[in-house]
Chain A
Amino acid sequence: MSSIKSFSVLPGFGLSMGFTLVYLSLIVLIPLSAVFIFTSQLTWAEFWAIVSAPRVVASYKLSFGASLAAAAINAVFGLMLAWVLVRYSFPGKKIVDALVDLPFALPTAVAGIALTALYAPNGWIGQFIQGTLGIKVAFAPLGVLVALVFIGLPFVVRTVQPVLQDLETELEEAASSLGANRWQTFRYVLIPIILPALMTGFALAFARAVGEYGSVIFIAGNIPMVSEITPLMIITKLEQYDYAGATAIAAVMLVVSFVMLLIINALQAWAGKRTGRDR
């Protein structure tokens, strides 16, 4: 023990570390490894056939495409919302600030049926959009986007907001005294400082959106080749007792998740360096 841990007078390292490792392994690591162990029982050809089936590929396109679009929308409006919450005063600000976390607190199934009710052809928003623009939102790929925007918004707001809050006004005062106008200050001084946090928020929203299930399945309509998301493909295979198929697709998604995790960690390190904040 002494070789991996440096000396400390505080007690309880063995107990707390032992419990942490056992619990982590039993609940998370060993079960997760099952995905890769089951997948490794497939031949490469079998694996490839499953994960590159047209219906599955269509689901990747929707899941990744909609997740990217949703994260981009959230990056723009999340930044705006964070800016408004930090910089401006307006009535009801505290309530808005608290409600930003609603997607974290509201069960996804509830969000799913609520959004469906709103955007269905006879819903409050749906009938308006379909009536005036002729665009179908619920039971179409656009519905997936709507659900993913809902899910991802707090990720951007909550990563950008603290960075904005910690920004010294001195920087803007300096820019201003050097003759920069408001837009130049925003573009050349503020944006470069916020950017790493904004990208972290974008990546977090994207990662969450790719794996999201509950809020999407109600509104998506789940039409094969059109509005099926990848997590739904896993469920579909499972319901057909096609464990190999479900596992292979899960393996692909897990690899993507791990890559995202690495990217997010790197972004956070960058953000810490850029803003001088330590995490």
Chain B
Amino acid sequence: MSNAAVVNKPLSNFAWVSPTKYERNVATQESKWIKISVISIALAFFALFLVMPLVAVFTEALRKGFEVYWLALSDSDALSAVRLTLLTALIAVPLNLVFGVAAAWAIAKFEFKGKQLLITFIDLPFSVSPVIVGLVYVLVFGVNGWFGEWLVANDIKIIFAVPGIVLATIFVTFPFVARELIPLMQAQGKEEEEAAVVLGAGGWQTFWYVTLPNIKWGLLYGVILCNARAMGEFGAVSVVSGHIRGQTNTMPLHVEILYNEYNFAAAFAVASLLALLALVTLVLKTWVEHRAGTNASAH
């Protein structure tokens, strides 16, 4: 608790990075050793739990050389898994995008009873285990499910087929866009839209020229996260897929099959593609946050 030296201590421990405002303020700074210890512990934890797994994916994928890696990726089953994954995302993301915009419009721009309940329902899919998501579609569309007999009679396959995979994916990615847009549009209020209507704009014009420019970054943010989850979903899809190679395997399911066959190099090769997707997602996400931030501060 000696006080003489505490005031003029170094600001940042690293000369080449500029200190935060907390490091410059005598009332919000800690002693150098506490600071270094906390940074070390936090970063060690970060490295152990986040960096190491990521590194492991790529090292395992390339362990047997680039040729094996390339072979695993150009395998026809792998390629059809990639195609199915893209197809699924291509259906699920736009549907949830439209839903997200509609829900946010209704919730943010109008006052009605039961709004809070509706928001809770929209959030619901986040708290349901993916396995249960798969299960509910089996209960509805499976052979013994509600529509089972009718579907068999009409020769329509949903479970253990592509429609089931798409449905399960839509469920697990359901809230992503909506929950990004609702708080954003609520914060923006409805004055600008009302001004547009007063000036004679129609509904679609108002949305297109006034609302959309205001929410585009939030929208993009939601879409990026929605897409990452859609391409990466495992549990829910696993239940309804039936794991038919070359037909109902998405990339994550293909990883599982290869892994369970002890074909580790191939499993990690396909996994590395998904890890790359994750990294691209994070880069895009950071970029959008940055853009949205500079946009917000420019207003």
Report B28-54 residues with CB < 8 Å from chain A CB: 28, 30-31, 34-35, 38-39, 41-43, 45-46, 48-54
Q: CA A107 – CA B123 in complex, angstroms?
A: 20
Q: Given contacts A5-B111, A106-B274, is CB(A98)–CB(B53) below 8 Å?
A: no
Is A45 interfacial (CB 8 A cutoff)? no
Q: Which of B193, B206, B234 sits near A109, CB closer than 8 Å?
A: B234
Tell me the count of chain A residues lying within 8 A, CB to CB, of chain B.
Answer: 99
A108 near B232 with CB under 8 A, answer: yes
**Chain B interface bracket (under 10, 10 to 19, 20 to 34, 35 or more):** 35 or more
Q: CA A181 – CA B2 in complex, angstroms?
A: 11
A276 to chain B, nearest CB (A): 15
Report B191-215 residues with CB < 8 Å from chain A CB: 193-194, 197-198, 202-203, 206-207
Q: Which of A13, A93, A114 sits near B110, CB closer than 8 Å?
A: A13
Selecting from B69-77, B129-137, B149-157, B291-299, the interface stretch reads B129-137
Chain A hits for B238, CB < 8 A: 213-214, 235
Q: CA A84 – CA B14 in complex, angstroms?
A: 14
Q: Given contacts A16-B105, A113-B267, is CB(A172)–CB(B233) below 8 Å?
A: no
Report B1-35 residues with CB < 8 Å from chain A CB: 1, 12-14, 16-23, 25-28, 30-31, 34-35
A113 near B255 with CB under 8 A, answer: yes
B39 near A234 with CB under 8 A, answer: no
Q: From DSSP, what is the main secondary structure of chain B's interface residues?
A: helix
B17 near A8 with CB under 8 A, answer: no
Chain B hits for A149, CB < 8 A: 49
B27 near A169 with CB under 8 A, answer: yes
Question: Which residue on chain A has the smallest CB distance to residue B12?
Answer: A89
B7 to chain A, nearest CB (A): 12
Chain A hits for B18, CB < 8 A: 89
Closest 3 CB pairs of A and B: A211-B129, A107-B232, A214-B234
Besides A117-B264, A150-B50, 9 other A-B contacts (C-beta < 8 A): A27-B171, A28-B124, A91-B17, A105-B225, A105-B228, A211-B128, A211-B131, A213-B235, A231-B130
* Interface residue ranges, B against A (CB under 8 Å): 1, 12-14, 16-23, 25-28, 30-31, 34-35, 38-39, 41-43, 45-46, 48-54, 56-57, 60, 95, 98-99, 101-103, 105-106, 109-114, 118, 120-125, 127-132, 135-140, 142, 144-146, 167, 170-171, 174, 183, 190, 193-194, 197-198, 202-203, 206-207, 225, 228-229, 231-235, 238-239, 251-253, 255-256, 259, 264, 267-268, 271, 274-275, 277-279, 281-283, 285-286
